Amino acid sequence: MRRIKVFDTTLRDGEQSPGCSMNLTEKLQMARQLDTLGVDVIEAGFAIASPDDFKSVEAISQTVEHCKVASLARCTKGDIDAAWNAVKSAKYPRIHVFLATSDIHMEYKLKMTREQVLANISEYVAYAKAYCDDIEFSAEDASRSDWDFLCQCFENAIKAGATVINVPDTVGYSSPDEMFALISYLREHTPGIEKVDISSHCHDDLGMAVANSLACLRAGATQVECTVNGSGERAGNASLEELAMAIKTRGEYYQMETGIVTQQIYKASKLLANITGVPIAPSKSIVGANAFAHESGIHQHGVLANALTYEIMKPEDVGIPQNTMVLGKHSGKHALADRLKELGYELTKEELDEVFTHFKALADKKKSLNDADIEALVLSKQKSIDETYKFVSHVVTTGKDTTNIACIKVEVGGEIKEEVAIGSGPIYAAFKAVDLITGLDVTLDDFSLNAVTEGEDAMGEAVVKLICEGEQYTGRGLSTDVIESSILAYLNGINKIVARG
């Protein structure tokens, strides 16, 4: 079995997806989960991009315990300086340098000749190597580059000190056969390539990112770059959970293995969805709600006789909680703590007290709470910012041919503020009342409401996207009352705006 290294770029490439930006606390939550998940490398961000990006890469470097932490950098001294200063406190730092190598990128974006590109690779990989032993070089748009020129680029990078060479299918253009052939050609024609790791970074524009990545691995690549839930620019990246489970489930075929703790996959997937407000599609492979559901009578009959008839994986293999223990309003804190631990959540005493308070309040509204309820509650109560505005209560009047009125009470600095507003619907009226309390100029860009658990007393999760001064902020709220969950989501977004300053 060949050991494949997993390079996760959820916090860099994944965060570049529109509407998926995260604040520092959320990035640290995700980084800790990725560390627990067992990825080999976390690409924490693009340190030069902004002061906030630099701070987040630096904070993740100081937090992560087991895996390498990388920062992306262009072939410029400023980028490389910033990358090193951000990751130098990591136990295992890496600088990830990139430069485009395709003719179209060199002519229209870089405005550089092939000779200039080769010289830049040699100069800046060596410059980064003076800081750090672990250097990755990526040839942007490699899949559309001239293969012989690409070999020269990688040869220069290796001579300058690169320990990893990355072969990106930057625009998701290639097919599996082409990527297999490209990796094979590079292995045969690049001097020194046997001394370094070969990595693949595939995008999903034509829906083949995972297939292309597996083809690269079969051809001899030793590292695969991916994101949780396949997040990323445009159509996204190769999905970590799909790659990990393909290799685990078909290990005998691929003759590969990873260090991924697959039982942590579902938790990572749900955490990212909760942070970004981007729901997981029901039909999503591995982690979707329907991934292990069987409605067809023929399928049900087969599964009941032997699960292997229609299930090639077990839900517990990816950490999907089974509703084996039901808690209710008479359950104590110890029972809740035990169940949370079984689900993989390690909470501090303060966090447990906070969750238990909301657990009891929810249990008064629902007859019983299953694992999905408990997990949704924990994720919704993980604080990523201080609450300047705290929800107190709401009263709405609504109905057909009736004026929609919302009366909202919010605590601000220990003082209760109350406003009343009229809107075209009860939720819109509630949002207008909140605006009157905060006085902020906020635009509601998107709003969604989904049931996160089953039954007539299911909890509803509201997600809002707010625009303030050109920046987008995501807010989330959870309650059995959909109007309350909507208000909580709106206030969560408002609090992020205030925290950003």
Residues 394 and 253 in one domain: no
Domain co-membership, 326 together with 403: no
Same domain? For 124 and 192 the reply is yes
339 plus 396 within the same structural domain:
no
Is residue 285 in a domain?
no
Number of domains in the chain: 4
The residues, ordered by sequence, that sit 6+ positions from 141 with a Cβ below 8 Å of its Cβ are 100, 101, 102, 104, 105, 168, 170, 171
pLDDT of residue 310: 60
Residue 281, domain member (yes or no)? no
User: Domain end: 354, 382, 410, which one?
Assistant: 382
pLDDT the model gives residue 304 = 52
What is the reported pLDDT for 303?
46
Contacts 24+ apart (CB under 8 A), 26-30: 26/275, 26/384, 27/56, 27/59, 27/60, 28/56, 28/59, 28/60, 28/63, 29/271, 29/275, 29/382, 29/384, 30/228, 30/268, 30/271, 30/272, 30/275
335 in a structural domain? yes
- pTM, to two decimals: 0.85
Does any domain span residue 282? no
**Average pLDDT in the chain:** 91
Residues 37 and 142 in one domain: yes
pLDDT of residue 295: 46
pLDDT-flagged residues of the chain (< 70): 293-310, 322-326, 367, 383-384, 454-457
Is position 436 within any domain?
A: yes
How confident is the model at residue 392, as a pLDDT? Answer: 96
Same domain, 327 and 308: no
Q: Alpha-carbon torsion 46, 48, 53, 57, what sign?
A: positive
pLDDT tens, position by position, 131-179: 999 999 999 999 999 999 999 999 999 999 999 999 999 999 999 999 9
> Token match 């509650």: residue?
377
Provide the pLDDT for residue 126.
98
If asked whether residues 256 and 397 sit together in one domain, one would say: no
Domain stops at, among 343, 363, 382 = 382
Residues 352 and 473 in one domain: no
**3 state DSSP class of 249:** helix
The range of the structural domain enclosing residue 295 comes to 290-318
Say if 404 falls within a structural domain: yes
Query: Is residue 231 situated within a structural domain?
Result: yes
Task: Mark whether 258 and 304 lie in a shared domain.
Answer: no
Query: CA angle, corner 315, sides to 256 and 480, nearest 5?
Result: 135
Same domain, 308 and 343: no
Q: Closest Cα to residue 221, out of 6, 376, 69?
A: 6
Q: How far is CA 209 from the centre of its chain?
A: 17
Report the CATH number at residue 213: 3.20.20.70
Question: What b-and-e string marks burial along 307-318, b requiring 16 or more CB atoms within 10 Å of the CB?
Answer: eeeebebeeebb
Same domain, 302 and 368: no
Q: Is residue 170 included in any domain, yes or no?
A: yes
Residues 136 and 228 in one domain: yes
Among 318, 338, 372, the domain boundary falls at 318
The predicted structure's pLDDT at residue 305: 61
